[in-house]
Structure 1
Amino acid sequence: MTAPAPIVYPSDVDGWLAFASDRPAAAIARVADVDARLTEASARGMTPEERLDLWNDADLALRQATSEVYLLSEAHPEAAVRAAAEAQVQRLEALSAGRLLERALFEAFREIGADAGNALDHDRRRLWRDVLRDFRRGGVDLPDADRERVRVLSDRDTELSLEFSRNIRDGRREIRVAPEDLEGLPQDFLDEHPVGDDGLVRLTTDYPDLMPVREYAVRRETRTALVAAANDVAWPENESVLAELLAVRAERADLLGYGSWADYETEPRMIGSGAAIADFLERLDEASAPAAAEEYPVLLARLQQDGPTASEVTIADLFYLLGALRRERHDVDAQLVRSYLPFERVLPGVLATTGRLLDVEYLPVDASAWHADVRSYDVVRGGERLGRIHLDLHPRDGKYNHAACFGIAPGIAGRVLPEAALLCNFSRGLMPHDEVVTFFHEFGHLVHDILGGRQRIARFSGVATEWDFVEAPSQLLEEWAWDADVLASFAANAAGEPIPSELVERMRVADGFGRALEVRRQLGHANVSYHLHVDRPHDLQSATEHWYRTTSPVQPLAGRHSYAGFGHLTGYGACYYTYQWSLVIARDLLSGFGGDLMSPEAAARYRREILEPGGSRDAAELVEAFLGRPSSFDAYRAWLDAE
């Protein structure tokens, strides 16, 4: 059997415009052919296996085409290509949702029946059950008028979600400050931000400006001004977009027979129901409140050293104060740590570390991509190419402005080589340690997509597990960014001296302080995500500010509109709780390494039981297979209490 080949990308704008139209058109034609055959499944005498294999073919075509153009809509430097790709995303999403309303297609799978369905092999039986559930959740059983309304609402959800993301992507804000207002910023930052003709320095809300300012700027006014600007990214543009999106989702959930959008979203996930989200958030509240109550007065007292009249710590102060306290209490100077983390050392370090852990090599390939910044690698083991990855790691205009992994090709054994990309916004120079942690996190998604990309069924390929498990492998991989031996293997200063193990140990100890407040910050995001969808408040600004104010002692900036730039409200919907749910699992998975992060035995078991199955088994089964027991909350609670 010929090994599947990677995608060949164009090298000019015209080629990319054709790529963004021709490949979706081919996928749509393939789906039309499959659907025509499935609607005649009985007449053709198709076996259950033949029906499910055909569905898988169409699903593969749709998933790959949608992933390709979705990536282009967020990453291509040419606005015309982004716009063309975005239009195709909407077209493909509409087709995917619309198929689940077609009764003739549904009949091809409903008539398989329980006896024949249960006699299928594991993968096909799992697919059959998921397909029946998807049709029901899609609205196939509704009366005609309601079915058509669900179709309209589903298409509108896609349209609004794309608009919401586009406004964030294009919503950069700028402020201008006096040079003296940058007191505390590292010299390389100052060198990259010269004084303009007006005597002021320009700062943007892009991560390479925002992150250093909120962590190092001594002057509170500077931090507050830039964080306030970041909190208003995509506002007012996204005010009406989000209001309509919430209304569309609520109506759709109601038509489909769910109590709320949260109930609809959680049905196929580990957590199981919207009410269980509320219960889980209450459990996080109970677990983190005592430690956060102890941490907050320490922050406030430190803030008052700089300004005695300060009465509350805000989100614009949090990272600066944590950095100051870590420096003063634990001798951890974030700028000193940065000096050991130049990007050109971190990149090969992440590759070498994950390569050793996962028993793979990353071989650079000279291939066309959507931008000159993109670095592409074949992922190889024992001479066999397992997949291809693309690293697009620095900011530019028109590009996705956070950090995420984007699937491109869902791997199918013998048919499709898995491909995925990272879109990040890292510094080209010295990296803060939290950016290195983010790099490891996103790389966790990337390798999950590749190593889990040898399935028979497209919907089980790569990271296609339950959505509230998908962050766990990435959160687990963050731990390698805190290991002294791992860091010493690549982190070194300009003189070539590796980062001292004593410094890394102090970093780990210092990181314990503020952990509960960080959980409260994440809990605030989860509350906003959940309550905006479930409570449907008329005043989005007031409701969002309320949930942040009541969740954490660290206060939001009053009168701002962070929900307008909260990109997770599209993909994650009401379910931002996912990050803490997955973190509970990740802390438990860590115990499986027995204190040795590079243990070959533990790593092999982890690859075999967690990464390589993709979504072919329930997440709870994956965890139990790796740990030898069901997952527990104990490791998370111990981590939260540690300082």
Structure 2
Amino acid sequence: MTNDALPPLAFPADDAAWAVFAADRPAQRLAHVAAIDARLTSDPSLTTLERLELWNDADIALSEALSEAYVLSEAHPDSHIREVAEGQVQAVESVSSARMLDRALWSVFADADATGLDDDAARLLTHVQRDFRRGGVDLDESDRERVRELTDRDTELSLEFSRNVRDGRREVTVPVAGIAGLPQDFIDAHPVDADGLVTLTTEYTDLMPVREYAASRETRIAVLSAYNDMAWPENDPVLAELLAVRAERAGLLGFSDWADYETQTRMIGAGAEIPAFLSKLDAASAVAAEREYARLLERLRRDAPDADAVSIADFWYLLGAIKREEYDVDAQLVRSYFPFDRVKPGVLEVTGRLLGLEYRPVDVPTWHEDVSSYDVLRDGERIGRIHLDLHPRPGKFTHAACFPLAPGVAGRVLPEAVLLCNFSRGLLEHDEVVTFFHEFGHLVHDILGGAQRWARFSGVATEWDFVEAPSQLLEEWAWDADVLRSFTANEAGEPIPAELVAKMRVADAFGRALEVRRQLGHANVSYHLHVDRPGDLQAATEQLYATSSPVQPLPGLHSYAGFGHLTGYGACYYTYQWSLVIARDLLSGFGAGLMDEQTAQRYRREILEPGGSRDARDLVEAFLGRPYSFDAYQEWLGA
């Protein structure tokens, strides 16, 4: 059966059916997994290939159950449905971890004969055997039980942490003078109350314009302070326990710390390599960052003569001021060319043209009226379905990310994925356009990589420190004058001028080293909280940010409580810069132009379509014709 003939996931059309969908579908899939495991452990006549095929059936069921539950837990507007979905996430994760501790299941694969298996099947067998060992199957009974308890608790705490972030929206009020400098459409959307005050929130639609345009330093500090204290104090004990749980689990499994456990399956290879890589970033960016910082401080002192340091509440505002005053790039002018209702179809058109895809709108029930769904076609054949949920609302995931929904398995399951973002319905900042391209990169990777035989290798299933590289590469299309001309327009219907885009590219180089330092701060927090497990999370986090960048954190706040990546990325936030090193090198393969058809086809074939069926190093080498290097990143950083 071709993917074109596969039925996509059908969502309920009413509230009562959603409650059944959220509870019953995962339960049905878990029952199916239990039946598969019973057959695996009771039928010694099965060949190795038959065992792997049954394991694949279970992988499909678990992936469907988990992905659907995660999306509903982060996006469904009904808090009861979100709560039910969270419970199903815990149930599926618990079954998944318990299977890795099951000695009877392990015996099915421990000494399985790989003779006669093709490369993909042999690769799957190796991964399954590795997963069992990482799960703790070789431990004695009491330690296996303790690992199971810790794994379940990790899931429970991670869900609680994310829920607190999702529900952590805060408001601040400022005098009307405090919104001076903000775009007129923003001012119009934030009326003054009877007391002469304006209410601002920590949602991205307020946060990003305020930090970029608010002339009032007090306003910027107030909003950034509220944002940095989201989910605090609720997440303080949650994170402290989560770090302890992960440390104990890593120790029981024979690893020195959680970073060592996580990196065993990643490109970087070992936890000790994380600080080594971060040290390399430190050395590469230090001199340029100090030069940039001096210019920021000088500009800040024009507004605040007594200022002794640039804080994170000043960072984006000062970058924008310098780019406007010294590079002739006015961010408010730039945003006038990016109305959301042109950006969304523009991203679809550009990526479709680049990758040989068509996005056909489909009118189907989803979890919210904001969601728009599309069948993804190539050469007229449906190869997947995507769902775009792009605007903020109460109780929804607060950042921007791609979530898998259905694991693509050739001839069996149509790949589906979801974008959860928080874009304005009006004009977008150019940074938001870049984010849109970035997240769409994950989306197309998930669909194009979703024609695998084995669910384990479907979609975005590469090593986790490579997974950002294709998305970071696609950001470049948001900086290309020809690409932007194809979909941008201001109120007069004029596309963004090429000379303005050229100025934007030049101006973008300023502040690049400081942005690397900011990312270095996130990576240091991610790593050291997990490895050092400080008793005072606030003091340790503030110190790590303060020593990572000359741009200083706001004192006394608790940004770690809202640092959502601490759950999924754990100790490995270094991933973003590691992937960026590769992305900058991948870009060199597009020497014939970003829209060159032959290069795009080769990129699709060598990087995206294999999913996780090959090691990331091999994917990159197949596209570039050589191993990747640090050189392109170093050149970009020093531009």
TM-score, normalised with respect to structure 1: 0.99
CA distance in 2, matches of 1:252, 1:577: 22
In structure 2, the partner of 1:70 is 70
In structure 2, the partner of 1:622 is 619
CA distance in 1, matches of 2:21, 2:256: 41
Alignment equivalent of 2:14, drawn from 3, 12, 29: 12
Alignment equivalent of 1:227, drawn from 224, 231, 236: 224
CA distance in 2, matches of 1:588, 1:64: 34
CA distance in 1, matches of 2:285, 2:43: 55
Cα deviations by residue, 1:367-414 (Å, 9 ceiling, x for unpaired): 000000001000011110010000000000000000000000010001
In structure 2, the partner of 1:56 is 56
1:314 aligns with 2:311: yes
Cα deviations by residue, 1:242-278 (Å, 9 ceiling, x for unpaired): 0000000000000000000000000000000000111
In structure 2, the partner of 1:143 is 140
Deviation at 1:322, TM superposition (A): 0.3
- Summarize the alignment of residues 244-283 of structure 1 with structure 2, pairs less than 5 Å apart: 244-283=241-280
- Name the aligned partner's letter for residue 76 of structure 1: H
Cα deviations by residue, 1:20-76 (Å, 9 ceiling, x for unpaired): 11110111111001100111242xx11000001100100110011100010000000
1:541 aligns with 2:560: no
- Summarize the alignment of residues 465-484 of structure 1 with structure 2, pairs less than 5 Å apart: 465-484=462-481
With 14-23 and 460-469 compared, the bigger mean Cα shift is at 14-23
Alignment equivalent of 2:404, drawn from 403, 407, 421: 407
CA distance in 1, matches of 2:64, 2:476: 31
Secondary structure of the 1:402 match is coil
Please tell me the root mean square deviation across aligned C-alpha atoms, in Å.
0.7
CA distance in 1, matches of 2:265, 2:122: 16
Deviation at 1:198, TM superposition (A): 2.5
Alignment equivalent of 2:26, drawn from 24, 27, 31: 24
Secondary structure of the 2:405 match is strand
Alpha-carbon contact 1:375-1:391 (below 8 Å) kept: yes
In structure 2, the partner of 1:331 is 328
Cα deviations by residue, 1:328-380 (Å, 9 ceiling, x for unpaired): 01110000001000000001100000000000000000000000000100001
State the number of aligned residues. 637
Alignment equivalent of 2:428, drawn from 428, 431, 438: 431
In structure 2, the partner of 1:177 is 174
Secondary structure of the 2:377 match is strand
Deviation at 1:111, TM superposition (A): 2.3
In structure 2, the partner of 1:93 is 93
- Summarize the alignment of residues 92-241 of structure 1 with structure 2, pairs less than 5 Å apart: 92-112=92-112, 116-117=113-114, 119-241=116-238
Deviation at 1:230, TM superposition (A): 0.1
**Unaligned ranges ≥5, structure 2:** none
CA distance in 2, matches of 1:74, 1:585: 30
CA distance in 1, matches of 2:592, 2:421: 30
CA distance in 2, matches of 1:250, 1:119: 40
Alignment equivalent of 1:296, drawn from 293, 298, 307: 293
- Name the aligned partner's letter for residue 178 of structure 1: P
1:39 aligns with 2:49: no
Alignment equivalent of 2:630, drawn from 625, 629, 633: 633
- Name the aligned partner's letter for residue 393 of structure 1: L
- Name the aligned partner's letter for residue 196 of structure 2: G
1:495 aligns with 2:492: yes
CA distance in 1, matches of 2:632, 2:410: 36
In structure 1, the partner of 2:373 is 376
Cα deviations by residue, 1:98-139 (Å, 9 ceiling, x for unpaired): 100000000000121xxx325411111111000110000000
Alpha-carbon contact 1:41-1:108 (below 8 Å) kept: no
CA distance in 2, matches of 1:296, 1:178: 30
CA distance in 1, matches of 2:584, 2:279: 19
Work out the percentage of aligned pairs sharing the same amino acid. 71
CA distance in 2, matches of 1:633, 1:368: 46
CA distance in 1, matches of 2:378, 2:405: 21
CA distance in 2, matches of 1:406, 1:5: 20
CA distance in 1, matches of 2:554, 2:240: 21
In structure 2, the partner of 1:564 is 561
Alpha-carbon contact 1:41-1:51 (below 8 Å) kept: no
With 591-600 and 241-250 compared, the bigger mean Cα shift is at 591-600
CA distance in 1, matches of 2:34, 2:503: 60
- Name the aligned partner's letter for residue 618 of structure 1: D
Alpha-carbon contact 1:378-1:387 (below 8 Å) kept: yes
Quickly say closer, same or farther: Cα 1:301–1:358, change in 2 above 3 A.
same
- Name the aligned partner's letter for residue 18 of structure 2: W
CA distance in 2, matches of 1:161, 1:204: 25
Secondary structure of the 1:301 match is helix
Secondary structure of the 2:494 match is coil
CA distance in 1, matches of 2:417, 2:522: 27
- Name the aligned partner's letter for residue 38 of structure 1: L
Quickly say closer, same or farther: Cα 1:118–1:434, change in 2 above 3 A.
farther
Cα deviations by residue, 1:227-247 (Å, 9 ceiling, x for unpaired): 000000000000000000000
In structure 2, the partner of 1:514 is 511
Deviation at 1:14, TM superposition (A): 1.1
Deviation at 1:12, TM superposition (A): 1.4
CA distance in 2, matches of 1:595, 1:571: 37
- Name the aligned partner's letter for residue 107 of structure 1: S
Cα deviations by residue, 1:582-638 (Å, 9 ceiling, x for unpaired): 000000000000050000010000000000000000000000000000010000000
- Name the aligned partner's letter for residue 100 of structure 1: M
Secondary structure of the 2:382 match is strand
Alpha-carbon contact 1:337-1:433 (below 8 Å) kept: yes
**Unaligned ranges ≥5, structure 1:** none
CA distance in 1, matches of 2:430, 2:580: 20
Alpha-carbon contact 1:13-1:81 (below 8 Å) kept: no
Cα deviations by residue, 1:126-162 (Å, 9 ceiling, x for unpaired): 1100011000000001010000000000000000000
CA distance in 2, matches of 1:364, 1:255: 50
The 4+ residue runs of structure 1 with deviation greater than 2 A are none
In structure 2, the partner of 1:83 is 83
CA distance in 1, matches of 2:97, 2:296: 49
Deviation at 1:15, TM superposition (A): 1.0
Alpha-carbon contact 1:228-1:557 (below 8 Å) kept: yes
Secondary structure of the 1:601 match is helix
With 116-125 and 141-150 compared, the bigger mean Cα shift is at 116-125
Deviation at 1:197, TM superposition (A): 2.4
CA distance in 2, matches of 1:372, 1:216: 31
- Name the aligned partner's letter for residue 463 of structure 2: E
In structure 2, the partner of 1:348 is 345
